[in-house]
Amino acid sequence: MKRSFTTLTEATLITAVVQSGYGEIITDALLEVGIQGSTIHAAMGVGIRERLGALGVAVDAEREVVTVMVSSDEVDRIFERIFLAAKLDVPGMGFMYATPLLQAATYVPPSILSKYVG
């Protein structure tokens, strides 16, 4: 059997760096709109806000980083969903960004692939 792969070219990676505990809130919000493939990992960060601890000593801030790959036509909808779920309109809650992907590859079931390949 010849192995092959399908390259996705209209994809965007959304990355959100959020307060610890908000990763699961984001993934739950994504599940509600049918997005199942997000990844959460823990991170440590130091910023100006964390330097205001006792005696001006820098305090490590635990964060979670959530990444999700979406089709480029869904970016605005999913970006807003994550922004609201993570409460990023509140100072100090985190930040997020979207990165267009040149190409991405994963298994695509034949039933889905046939809809897009003529």
For the chain, first and last CA: distance in Å? Answer: 22
**Residues recorded for the chain:** 118
Helix (H) and strand (E) counts in the chain: 3, 6
What DSSP assignment string belongs to 55-101?
GG----EEEEEEEEEEEGGGHHHHHHHHHHHTTTTSTTSEEEEEEEE
17: tokens are: 């760096």
Q: What is the per-residue pLDDT across 94-109, written as a single tens digit (0 to 9) for each?
A: 999 999 999 888 777 7
Burial class (CB in 10 A: 0-12, 13-18, 19+), 40: middle
pTM more than 0.85: no
pLDDT digits (tens, 9 = 90+) for 26-79: 999 999 998 888 999 999 876 655 555 555 555 557 899 999 999 899 999 999
Q: Which of the two residues, 47 and 4, has the higher pLDDT score?
A: 4
Question: What are the structural domains of the chain?
Answer: 18-104 (3.30.70.120)
